[in-house]
Amino acid sequence: MSAPPRPAAPLPRAHRAHRTLTRWLLGAQWRSHRGRALVAIATIALGVGLGYAVQLINGAAFNEFSAAARSLSGQADLQIRGAQPFFDESLYARLATHAGVAIASPVLELDVAVPRQDAPLKLLGIDVFKAKRIAPDLTGVPSSQTPFDALADDALFLSPAAQQWLGAGANVTLRHGTSDVRLRVAGGIARARPGQRIAVMDIAAAQWRFGMLGRLSRVDVQLARGVDREAFRRALQNELGAGFVVGETRDVESRTDRLSRAYRINMNVLALVALFTGAFLVFSTQAAGVVRRRTQFAMLRVLGMTRALLVRQIMLEGALLGVAGAVLGIALGYAVAALALRFFGSDLGGGYFPGVEPRVEFEPLASLVFLALGIGVALAGTLIPALEAARARPAPALKAGSEEAALTPLATPWPALVCLAAGAALTQAPPVFDAPVAGYAAVALLLVGGIALMPRLTALVFRALGRHRARRRSGAVATLALARLANAPGQASIAMGGVLSSFTLIVAMAIMVSSFRNSVDDWLAHLLAADLYVRVAASGDTGGLAPGQQAQLAAVRGVKHAAFARTSRVTLDASRPPVALLAREIDPADPGAAMQLTGAALSPRDWTSGDTPVWASEAMVDLYGYRVGERVRLPLGGEVRSLIVAGIWRDYVRQTGALQMRIDDYRRLTGDTTATDAGITLAEGTPPTAAIDAMRALPFAGALEFAQPGEIRARTLTIFDRSFAVTYLLEAVAVVIGLFGVAATFSVQTLARSREFGMLRHVGVTRRQILAILAAEGGLLTALGIAMGCVLGFAISLILVFVVNPQSFHWSMSLYVPWALIGVIGGVMLVSSCMTALLAGRRAVSVDAVRAVREDW
């Protein structure tokens, strides 16, 4: 028989005492400083909530968009696409009989225009017998009475989202170029993602109806069992050459990731601005609280508490604030994400995830990351005050007036200078996986270094001001305020940590957004040189204006000149989105008249008579290594052509790359004589409205869209402002957090200065004068914080404008400083800080003067 279990050993008496003391101290701290704790918790929750919400929104949209894109590929092992959007269908027969291929399924993928809709409909022409084995979700579902509708030449099958969007009844009208195509809705699709607007029809019918006879977009291939997919892919790519791109289905997700990565990273970083600013608020409130409790901690040390236990006690207080704030923030972020996806869509203005209806889902990994960030912010803000409290010698700490001595280490300038130097060095580092990781690290180091330099700067500035005021024999209020700030720079700097960090980020973001917006405005003014713009309604590469229709448009009364253009796409890398190819009228002797060049360009005398020039956007330099004067090979017209890069131009529309070439060269190399756009120059005295009315009389006018330069500019800037709406919100949050910091730290410091105020009352200073001193201190500190924030924010804006944005989006911009906006925000913060300091000081000056100066030794 086994012995009965032994009872658990009781906890050592000292351990139980420590636990009891910990509970007492935590309870006392909560009861006496509940407001400060709630402010810190709210700040952490706000930062975590915004970051977590943005992560959930972008994650849900990206995952849903990727799943929808993968559903179009089905179970294919490989996809063979042309470098241009369409290729000859003879390749299908070649692939279907290729050794190692089990199934080859041809696909014609079109973006067809829909009358009275502002977006195209994705239409897939499929071989239903092949598609059922590779992509069964894409097959149409005809009714049992008409099973052969899947092969009918007028039958169209729509996804639920497409049916709802089109309001489809028995028939639907689509558009090919300028011609209408009327089709019969024969049923739905086997399976489609929520919000996915797609249509399916027989591939032969699609080729005939939309003028694509003998053309395909891709061939989906399923390999025979035992075939090495990667080896087969490499061999097939070598066999087909540069005119085709052999990729895997995962490349679809890679293209989506590359297309939206910079946007998602920047949105997440912007959301973390609130959390980053909150870290300084936690530090300032914790540091001020620890300094105020310096005598209490010294007494605990005298009574036997060790340094390790004291550090653990203070860190536990910070950790509890972090846990409460992070948990509350995760709940807040989830609620915000759910509401945003329901009412505002999935892209937050970015426009990268059209046609999907994502639902917010709890992400365990992201939740743990943001939980750790919230707790880490609180612990980081508590660590330095905790270590200082543990290092302090009990005897001096028990005496009154030792608070500033506790903050003396903060005045050491070397750590700040090291951070500033490291931040400057990181600005020269290249991007990592197309993300400006070093640039963001440089911003963080500059911000930390600037704030760490504040104690030394505060002492220097206010001592100089104090000497200046002393020579002028100014009033008592100003003298006392300057003396306090000059002789207690550590506490002053703690009070301004939140204001400085928030205003610095506000200035940096305001300059970056203003620079971007003004650069886009200048770019539009340069680009929109015509009087009127006409384009064929969005229909991808399926059609445009035929030569006869171009002649009719150019012959309209009042039209002086019509500059036609053709927009197409070229795929250069299977894992990257296609590159836009713009063919338009360009004068080789003066290409800057048609595009905004960023540097020197080649002139016609710099290339031989047989060379074909092409002008590359800035993104092509970063993504594909294009350089002026370099010869590149591009697939055009079914062949790989050699062209010379004649210049680099700025493009704020296509961050994945774009090329421009003369439309005559494009037509000569491809044989494509259609046009998708036209820039109309009107005869003198002809109003644009009269020209538009005349063009509407053309037989194909129903397929045209008209816009004047002012309308395009206004629409573009509206989209821009909507895209940066979240940035404006985060700037407002940073202001609120900064004011929270002023309120929290001033309330703690004014209570700690009760003896000082009591002594002033004894020597005849009135309450009104003490409040004036507090207001002066708050105003002077805020003014210094605003001045330092302007300098630091300007430096950070240079990194954002000239490092982060070019590395993220592959375009450059000019620098613009919105002085009026910065002045207004600075004035609001200055007045608000003075009022906050007054409100925080009312409690301290209400304490009885005799009781305030009593000191127990």
Q: Output 38 or 97, whichever has higher pLDDT.
A: 97
- Burial environment of residue 565 by CB neighbours within 10 A (0 to 12, 13 to 18, 19 or more): buried
- Please count the other Cβ atoms lying within 10 Å of the Cβ belonging to residue 132: 16
Q: Is the pLDDT of residue 8 over 50?
A: no
> Residue 722 has which token pair?
């909507």
**In the block, residue with structure tokens 């598609």:** 131
Buried b (16+ CB within 10 A) or exposed e, 595-628: bbbeeebbeeeebeeeebbbbbbbbbbbbeebeb
Model pTM? 0.79
Angle between helices 294-302 and 307-343 (to 10 degrees): 140
- Rounded CA gap, 259 and 808, in Å? 11
Q: Element (H or E) spanning 101, and its range? A: strand 101-112
Report which of 579, 526, 568, 573 is spatially closest to residue 543, judged by C-alpha positions: 568
- Rounded CA gap, 410 and 415, in Å? 9
Helices then strands, counting H and E runs in the chain, come out as 29, 21
804 DSSP assignment? I
Query: 211: Cβ–Cβ under 8 A, 6 or more apart, which residues?
Result: 176, 177, 542, 543
597 DSSP assignment? B
| pLDDT band (50, 70, 90) for residue 6 | low
Amino acid making up residue 115: P
Q: Are 849 and 761 in contact (CB under 8 A)?
A: yes
What does each C-alpha distance from 685 to 117, 626, 693 come to in angstroms?
A: 33, 44, 15
Query: What pLDDT, on a 0 to 100 scale, did the predictor assign at position 106?
Result: 95
SS3 460: helix
Question: Which residues make beta-bridge pairs with 198?
Answer: 122
Question: Which residues make beta-bridge pairs with 518?
Answer: none
Query: What pLDDT, on a 0 to 100 scale, did the predictor assign at position 256?
Result: 66
SS3 95: helix
Report which of 489, 78, 494, 466 is spatially closest to residue 284, judged by C-alpha positions: 494
Q: Element (H or E) spanning 19, and its range? A: helix 13-32
- Rounded CA gap, 796 and 451, in Å? 13
- Give 372-394 pLDDT, tens digit per residue: 888 887 887 777 777 777 776 66
- Rounded CA gap, 290 and 388, in Å? 9
> Residue 28 has which token pair?
């006392």
Query: 381: Cβ–Cβ under 8 A, 6 or more apart, which residues?
Result: 279, 280, 281, 282, 283, 284, 285, 286, 287, 318
Query: What pLDDT, on a 0 to 100 scale, did the predictor assign at position 288?
Result: 64
Query: What pLDDT, on a 0 to 100 scale, did the predictor assign at position 9?
Result: 47
> Residue 793 has which token pair?
């924010």
- Rounded CA gap, 220 and 106, in Å? 6
Q: Output 546 or 850, whichever has higher pLDDT.
A: 546
- Give 713-725 pLDDT, tens digit per residue: 888 888 777 777 7
> Residue 610 has which token pair?
């047989």
- Give 745-756 pLDDT, tens digit per residue: 666 666 666 667
Q: Is the pLDDT of residue 236 over 90?
A: yes
- Rounded CA gap, 732 and 258, in Å? 30
- Rounded CA gap, 584 and 567, in Å? 9
Query: What pLDDT, on a 0 to 100 scale, did the predictor assign at position 1?
Result: 45
Q: Output 578 or 841, whichever has higher pLDDT.
A: 578
Phi/psi at 265 (5° precision) = -65, -45
Q: Is the pLDDT of residue 4 over 70?
A: no
Q: What average pLDDT is seen over the chain?
A: 81
Q: What is the mean pLDDT of residues 126-140?
A: 88
Query: What pLDDT, on a 0 to 100 scale, did the predictor assign at position 310?
Result: 79
Report which of 570, 507, 573, 509 is spatially closest to residue 541, judged by C-alpha positions: 570
> Residue 572 has which token pair?
């250069």
Report which of 263, 268, 273, 253 is spatially closest to residue 498, judged by C-alpha positions: 273
Strand stretches in 618-729, DSSP E: 631-636, 639-649, 658-662, 677-682, 704-707
Question: Which residues make beta-bridge pairs with 181?
Answer: 174
Report which of 515, 511, 523 is spatially closest to residue 716, judged by C-alpha positions: 523
Query: What pLDDT, on a 0 to 100 scale, did the predictor assign at position 856?
Result: 44
Query: What pLDDT, on a 0 to 100 scale, did the predictor assign at position 756?
Result: 72
